[in-house]
Chains A and B, each alone.
Chain A
Amino acid sequence: MDELKWLLVDFFQAMAAGLLVGGTYGLMCVGLGIIFGVMRVVNFAHGDFMMLGMYAAFYLVTGFGTLAFLGPYVAPIVGALLAGPIVFVIGWLLHKYLISQVTGARVMSAEAEGHYAQIILTLGIALVLANGGLILFGSTPVSVQTPLSRESWEIGLIFFNQARAIGFIIAILCAIGLYLFLTRTNLGKALRAAADNPIAAAYVGIDVDRSHRIAFGLGVGITAVAGGLIAISQSFQPYIGFDFVIVMYAGVVLGGMGSILGAFWGGLTIGLVQQMSTLVLPYQLQNTAIFVVFLIIVFFRPQGMFGRVWERT
């Protein structure tokens, strides 16, 4: 009986960990989902924007001690939230001067050719950010120091790491805030309209390039917040973006490419898969489990859980 009990405890422990990690993954995926949904652009640099968010939070909290006055519990959270606007501006500028050259109204008709350029351009940005990060930040892994990451709440026999739990709560709050923004404000509605049908949105007078610029900034900014939250409980280095790109795409595809809120559930599921795979698979293979799930989704249900098929001949 005891054995069964511990098996169940292990199971629920992994599930709890998956849920907590999944919350931040979900937020991260929402950021990517907005960009893909609105712009139909596969942003390869997305993981690297998350990395920028991590370092932004890191330097805000520890580097210059700007937020030190807030104390070791509040500072990391404020740092993560502030990473959002910082990366928003970076994304906004990169879109204005680089990405808009190969996306938006001017390439809406040239479908296949357009994709080509977009994927390559964002790959180039990814390389510059990751390696530029290496030059600027160095290769030594760092993390946002806080006592939270060493403390846990215990509910029954299950431990909830405080850093992750708080990250989870903030992520959920951000996602809800975003949901309200998308459903209640005119700008949010315009973005959703552009996501649903970019061409029709252009016809009814939505400025596509402006929506794209905001969507891109917003998308990378939200992911940066998620990155800042992860930075509390995990160490990172400038190359971390590559590891997360697949995680994020798995989530977005699972939720249904183009469905912004579906992306949240997709990310949450990926977090669960990643943590629960450790029950049956060796620790090193937890990312392989994600890739396998990703491939399975892509093959059997490419439209995802919430997506639709909109292909036309």
Chain B
Amino acid sequence: MKRQSLLQQYAAIAIFAVAFLAVGFAVRNSYYQLMMTLVLIWATMGLGWNMLSGYSGLISFGHAAFFGLGAYTVTIAFVKFGITPWIGVPLGTIVGMIAGVLIGIPTFRLRGHYFALAMLAYPLAMLYVFEWLGYQEVSLPMKRENPAAYMQFNDQRAYMVITMVVVVICMIISLHVERSRFGRSLLAIKQNLPAAEAAGINAARWRMYAMMLSAAMAAAAGGIYAVILLVVTPLTVFGALTSAQALIVTLFGGVGTFWGPIIGSAILIPLAETLHAELGHILPGIQGVVYGVAIIVIILVAPDGIYWKVRDRIMARRTLPPLPEPTPAVETASIAADTPRPAFGAPILELDDVSRAFGGLKAVEGVTLSVPEGTIYGIIGPNGAGKTTLFNVLNGFLTADRGTMRFAGQEIGKLKPHEVCARGVGRTFQVVRSFPRMTVLENVVIGAFVGSKTDDEAERLAMEALARVGMADHQAHMLAGGLTTRQLRLMELARALAPKPRLLLLDETLAGLGQNELDDVLPVIRRVNREGVTIVIIEHTMHAMVRLADHFSVLDHGRLIASGAPADVTRNPAVIEAYLGKKWMDRAKDQVA
């Protein structure tokens, strides 16, 4: 099905290109032809913006930096060195790509607001630098002899064809990015960065690739813009409106799909241009007002853009009402419960004196523990005991201030989250971190990327993992956003299991589950363990843990205060009296007995 729709998309792109050019050639008025070419230029710019911001969710207000560099590369190469735009435009694209890398390296360290603001600063800084360098207004000289060699044509339609070629290239690149693990990784990063990193996605690398492609597209758009308009000023190419326009056409048309910039550009550019031509002399800012109103309306009415709104309408008409909540797949889970357990092996995870403080707060202090392979190792402690911090240190979200951590004999203290994952350590989160707009299967496929070479293999691994948690039925195709807590926990477990880890870190997986749900989830965890996966699970309550863990460690104020067999720990008077409270003494006795 996937392959087929890829062909369909190619056909759609071809139909679009031919139809657009057909209209362009039919139009006799060269002003309208120029406008149609501008539609394509801004579509290219929008495709560039969408590549980074639409797919990965990092909003850039600075794509004018790349657009401007592309435009000025073409112009300066032409004016100073006599280099034809046929070479200048590709050259500008490369310059843009390099700028993308140089800007990306420092800027990707920033998140959210800071990223958006820092990106805003680049083009504005460049604007003043180019003004200062004396490039206030540079025009491309007309070539009388052999103008075609310098990308100069009398016929506007020639420019339209050239720009269309660029747009189609950008669309095809975008299509393939969307369909591959590249695009899916970006989408995972966009929807939940920590979950993506913990699932083995190398966020830094994918983002950098996205930035390079994105900057290259924006620079190409800028280069062609210079060729067509023949005059370049810092304000028109580096100005804030240029960055804004990239974002506006994309958001209006549809964010996160390559059709978005095309739709947005095709509607907004002619609208704004026409209004400007008709009313510009009385209402000089009408263009900007149109753009402003367009995005205000779109963000309130259809926050993801026209494409998604229309698509959701069509889909809603086509699809059947959602299936009722399925009965839990207990059959698969119950088989394994009586399988004999393998003997515990050598320590697979060893922590020695691991500490981590936040300012004066010692969240984890001198924790030393050793987890034998094959066990279910429970760590309990009240809220704020440092349990989640310990996991965050273990899987690389945080670095330890002190101490060593060894997994399967190798030091993992310096590794990044995706590297820890690649070594065979999976984790889940206290608050389930799903990718809410993906299906269950797609969620799990994200986790499977790290353990697979090809995308098909990833899908196979994901289905296997879903089978292990009993969700390999129609649940696999439900959207993660609509799942119950139990299903979310199981899905997250499957995502962590997909790359076949040797060690699973479960962060309060049992929290918030009722008795019936526990009866579904506990056998799954036991079975996964019987299949050879070592499990470290943290919880703040005991009652479910005593049914599961082979070994208890108790964490309080960042320190381990007790460790041993569950029966011993739960009877340890210090633990009970000072920490768990009397209530638990009775409860734990009941459970153990």
Contacts and interface: CB of A to CB of B under 8 A. Distances in A.
The judgment on whether A and B are partners is: yes
Interface of A: 42, 98, 101-102, 112, 115-117, 119-121, 123-135, 138-139, 238, 242, 245-246, 249, 253, 257, 282, 284-285, 287-288, 291-292, 294-295, 298-299, 302, 313
Nearest to A138: B284
B357 interface: no
A291 B121 contact: yes
Among A101, A116, A119, the one with the most B-chain Cβ atoms within 10 Å of its Cβ is A116
Contacts of A302: 110, 114
A105 B559 CA distance: 37
Contacts of B132: 282, 284-285, 288
A124 B125 CA distance: 23
Given A119-B59, A287-B124, A135 B286 contact: yes
A131 B125 contact: no
Interface in B108-167: 109-110, 112-114, 116-118, 120-122, 124-125, 128-129, 131-132
Given A135-B283, A292-B125, A313-B392, A119 B300 contact: no
A288 B128 CA distance: 6
Interface string B186-220: 00001100100000000000000000000000000
Name A's interface SS.
helix
A249 B113 CA distance: 11
B564 interface: no
Given A288-B129, A291-B121, A124 B284 contact: no
Contact of B116 (A119, A287, A288): A119
A115 B117 CA distance: 13
B114 A134 contact: no
Interface in B273-305: 283-289, 291-296, 299-300, 303
B109 A124 contact: no
Interface residues of B, number: 49
Contact of B284 (A42, A112, A139, A288): A139
A132 B128 contact: no
Contacts of B287: 131
B247 interface: yes
B124 A253 contact: no
B299 A42 contact: no
Contacts of A291: 121-122, 124-125
Given A124-B293, A285-B128, A246 B121 contact: yes
A135 B121 contact: no
Given A112-B112, A117-B303, A298-B110, A125 B285 contact: no
A294 B296 contact: no
Contacts of A128: 288-289, 292-293, 296
A313 B417 CA distance: 13
B382 to A, nearest CB: 17
A239 to B, nearest CB: 9
B434 interface: no
A52 to B, nearest CB: 14
Given A124-B299, A125-B292, A130 B106 contact: no
B57 interface: yes
A277 B131 CA distance: 17
A120 B285 contact: no
Contact of B114 (A98, A139, A292, A298): A298
Nearest to B133: A284
A152 B455 CA distance: 72
20 contacts: A42-B116, A116-B59, A119-B59, A120-B295, A121-B299, A124-B295, A125-B292, A126-B292, A127-B244, A131-B287, A131-B288, A246-B121, A253-B114, A282-B132, A284-B131, A288-B125, A288-B129, A291-B124, A292-B125, A294-B118
A246 B110 contact: no
Contact of A284 (B122, B128, B285): B128
Contact of A298 (B117, B240, B294, B300): B117
Contacts of B299: 102, 117, 120-121, 124
B131 A131 contact: no
B385 to A, nearest CB: 15
B285 A131 contact: yes
A62 to B, nearest CB: 22
Contact of A295 (B118, B191, B241, B286): B118
Contacts of A131: 285-289, 292
B44 interface: no
A298 B287 CA distance: 33
B86 interface: no
Contacts of B182: none
Contacts of B190: 112
Contacts of B120: 245-246, 249
Interface string B52-68: 00000101010000000
Contacts of A125: 292, 296
Nearest to A126: B292
Given A128-B289, A282-B132, A291-B124, 5 more contacts: A123-B61, A124-B292, A132-B285, A135-B283, A295-B106
B295 A249 contact: no
Nearest to B284: A134
B398 to A, nearest CB: 8
Contacts of B553: none
A133 B114 CA distance: 28
A198 to B, nearest CB: 15
Among B116, B117, B300, the one with the most A-chain Cβ atoms within 10 Å of its Cβ is B117
B397 interface: yes
A212 B286 CA distance: 31
Interface string B434-453: 00000000000000000000
Among A119, A138, A287, the one with the most B-chain Cβ atoms within 10 Å of its Cβ is A119
B251 interface: yes
A8 B458 CA distance: 68
Given A116-B59, A128-B289, A282-B132, A253 B240 contact: no
Contacts of A124: 291-296, 299
B514 to A, nearest CB: 23
Given A98-B300, A115-B112, A131-B289, A123 B247 contact: yes
Nearest to B121: A291
